[in-house]
Homo-oligomer: A and B are copies of this chain.
Amino acid sequence: MKTRFYNARILTMTDGINIMEGELHVDADKIVYIGNTKGDSSFDKEIDCKGNVLMPGFKNAHTHTAMTFLRSFADDLPLQEWLFNRVFPMEAKLTPDRVYWLSRLGILEYLTSGMTANFDMYMKTEAIVSASIDSGFRTVLCDSMNNFGGSVEQMEKDYDKYNAVDPLISYHLGFHAEYTTSLELMKQLSGLANRRKLPVFVHNSETRKEVDECIERYGKTPTELLDSIGMYNYGGGGYHCVWMSEKDIEIFRDRKLFAVTNPGSNTKLASGIAPICRYLKEGIPVAIGTDGPASNNCLDMFREMFLVTGLQKISEKDAEACDAAEVLKMACVNGAHAMRLYDCDVLAVGKKADIIEIDLNQPNMQPLNNIAKNIVYSGSKQNVKRTMVNGKLLYECGEFFVGEKPEIIYEKANTIIKEMCNE
């Protein structure tokens, strides 16, 4: 399958937010040409981009996709009641079949928001993998081991298995969080990470309570604790990273750990504002995630991008804080690097064809004063005209091409939540 995009503005993300005009060719799963001529190739599909932007797909660097079933299920509640009385009892009723359909629903939404990959921490791995492959979507799994499920032995098996299962799927070491995982389990995982020289990702310093309780238990912040047992010797990072001490920041800086920020979720759950400007100043790589739809409630990289910069402007009391160009890099390039998708980070020959087309022929993009910054400040799902993953168009002009009708997926999701409420 060879696809030609022409009449495009190309934001490769290899050169800041500079944009070139021209065309881009895809052969099978790869970008094979970026330049100004059609050449003498023949194509299976030719797309007139009408001046729209082609750019690397957004990477959702932290999520729990299948939590779609709890979207708007229990809003405006305090965190503890939400989590313990509403979320956990429902999650106990999940089956692989349910996770499969709920993941497919989340993937549809990713496509509408120009996300071409997700970093998914959830249960029933096999079902997640099937949902992703059947949709044609790229998923990087992160293990969610904790005291209530999973083991380091299983994680190593899963690591080897799922990194070999399909070009769309890869696997990271990870665990849920310090507050749900025994020190013994964490030490075992650190042993694996050091033996295999692998990065580890985990929820880290999402709430002040989490940090305070960790200090009470161990006399150390979560980051200090993990570092002290060698968990971060080969990199990785933290999801959320809202409440980080000076020493935590030094550890992240020195070990080049990724801070994956989730401002939508941190806002809705009143967790706080992560010190992103500080991370940027220290050279800590920041990526962006939506977190799960139960706590956000939407899976929308445009919302997240505006919040990343907007909340910094508010907390720093400085309209210059956290330039939109940096935010765009977080959403495309840094996310890919956190997820070790080194061939999905920018648009360049030889890279994977994970590409989105941003519709500029919409009122919120006009006039064309600064296109890249406007994507961050004014963009919305309405501007996502096409989403291509691994060389295949999965979403085009409002239609999905994911091997299943969206109506079927919606119906499944509604049936699942109804059944679960009655069980």
Contacts and interface: CB of A to CB of B under 8 A. Distances in A.
A267 B267 CA distance: 13
A394 to B, nearest CB: 12
A380 interface: yes
A331 interface: no
A318 interface: yes
Given A364-B109, A366-B68, A378-B297, A77 B310 contact: no
Interface string A293-321: 10011111011001101110110111111
Contacts of A317: 270, 272
B298 A378 contact: yes
Contacts of A106: 363
Given A72-B369, A369-B417, A270 B364 contact: no
Interface string A14-51: 00000000000000000000000000000000000000
Interface string A366-377: 111111011001
Interface string A158-171: 00000000000000
A396 interface: no
B72 A364 contact: no
Interface stretch (A176-184, A187-195, A406-414): A406-414
A270 B306 contact: no
Interface in A59-91: 68-73, 75-79, 82
A362 interface: yes
Contacts of A293: 378
Nearest to A312: B270
A128 interface: no
A77 B112 contact: no
A311 B267 contact: yes
Given A324-B76, A367-B71, A410 B361 contact: yes
A112 B362 contact: yes
A268 interface: yes
Contacts of A77: 319-320
Contacts of A414: 366-368
A264 B300 CA distance: 17
A75 B299 contact: no
A270 B368 contact: no
A108 interface: yes
Contacts of A382: 112, 380-382
Given A76-B324, A270-B314, A380 B298 contact: yes
Interface of A: 68-73, 75-79, 82, 105-106, 108-109, 112, 264, 266-270, 272-273, 293, 296-300, 302-303, 306-307, 309-311, 313-314, 316-321, 323-324, 361-364, 366-371, 373-374, 377-382, 398, 406-407, 409-410, 413-414, 416-417
17 contacts: A68-B367, A70-B369, A71-B367, A71-B369, A72-B377, A73-B370, A75-B324, A76-B373, A105-B366, A109-B364, A267-B310, A270-B319, A270-B321, A302-B380, A303-B380, A361-B406, A363-B410
